[in-house]
Amino acid sequence: MDTHTYPVTRTDAEWRARLTPEQYAVMRNHGTERPGSCALLYEKRAGTFSCVGCDQPLFQSTLKFESGTGWPSFNDPVPGSVENTVDRSYGMVRTECHCSRCGSHLGHVFEDGPPPTGLRYCINGVALKFEPAA
């Protein structure tokens, strides 16, 4: 159980009111959206991807790439915006990433991304909102 306290906290009822049922399942219960199901997978405009749970900027579009996995993928997050924990669910060990401001589950980090970081932040699109650059 996560006992970390985040700067943005909400009651379960507040989370359910703020998020759609799919967003709640992913962000609060560590679920995963179906691959290829989110329009943000195809977003190519300049801008910022932010957390649906608290509006914190998470990823810049300049670091988004097509991974072929069915989920939006990024090389690196905005500094300080994402925290990682060990995920031992489903009989495997993975690195989970979550929003550093509200603790919402975003996705996982893998070491099979392109240079320069070699990382692939594989993010559930329903956890993100996109704001085009002005």
DSSP single-letter state for residue 100: T
CA–CA distance, 25 with 64 (Å, rounded to integer): 24
For the question of residue 38 being annotated catalytic, the response is no
Contacts 24+ apart (CB under 8 A), 24-32: 26/105, 26/124, 26/126, 26/127, 27/52, 27/53, 27/104, 27/105, 27/106, 27/124, 27/126, 27/127, 28/104, 28/105, 29/105, 30/87, 30/89, 30/96, 30/105, 31/105, 31/124, 32/107, 32/124
Active-site residue numbers? 122
